[in-house]
Amino acid sequence: MKKADVVTFFDRLAASMPEPKSELEYTSPFTLLVAVVLSAQATDAGVNRATQKLFPVADTPEKILALGEEGLKDYVKTIGLFNSKAKNIIALCRILIEEHGGAVPADRETLESLPGVGRKTANVVLNVAFGQPTMAVDTHIFRISNRTGLAPGKTPLAVELKLLKAVPEDRMLHAHHWLILHGRYVCKARKPECPRCVVNDLCSFKQKTSEQDFVSKPPKASRRKS
């Protein structure tokens, strides 16, 4: 995608979503970190349902450690991979207390050293909690970057590095959320809603949908055997 088109691309996303925000519910950098760890291979809505019960009871490393691994599992057992996630959260709480005074570090290297925290999770925390211009490439951003021609790449890291170069500097802070929300609600995986896409004309996707694709068809009449 040409540089001028990239500028227009993000100008339009910004106009359609002036103040994009994470759909994960959190009250502090720590609760955000826990929520993002829990969100791996899970939906934000599913995580929120669990943390709405967890965080009023335990919203600090000390309080979650007091629950213990089994106690934590009771709150997150509705989330996929909850056993390993609970184990990692207990371990990272212990490290935060012992090595960081209970505070969430604001640098990528330290974040990635925590159990259950990979590059994507670290990028989300740095962007959302600390306002750093990072790009966390999830399935939505990976799909949009390749489908539209915005920043094609074979791996999430390749896409991330291309986006960091392509996205206008004044749009970097919110670019991550614009792309995620656009992918979640418009540029969907199976059936993108191209007719209502604000960047339709800038997109290089060859199999764009039309209004007709979203017209409901009457059910077929059942056939009775005589």
Cα end-to-end span (Å), the chain: 60
On whether the CB atoms of residues 147 and 205 are closer than 8 A, the answer is yes
| CB-count burial class (<10 Å; 0-12, 13-18, 19+) for 4 | exposed
138 is catalytic: yes
On whether the CB atoms of residues 50 and 146 are closer than 8 A, the answer is no
**Cβ-proximal residues to 224 (8 Å cutoff; 6+ apart), any chain:** none
Catalytic residue among 2, 138, 162, 188, which? 138
With vertex at residue 9, the alpha carbon angle to CA 136 and CA 44, rounded to the nearest 5 degrees, is 35
Return d(Cα 144, Cα 149) in angstroms, integer: 8
213 is catalytic: no
Largest distance between two CA atoms of the chain: 78
Single-letter amino acid, residue 194: C
Return d(Cα 70, Cα 179) in angstroms, integer: 36
Catalytic residue among 120, 191, 208, 213, which? 120
93 in a labelled binding site:
no
With vertex at residue 102, the alpha carbon angle to CA 99 and CA 105, rounded to the nearest 5 degrees, is 70
- Please identify every residue annotated as catalytic: 120, 138
Q: Which residues are annotated as a binding site?
A: 187, 194, 197, 203
Binding residues for [4Fe-4S] cluster: 187, 194, 197, 203
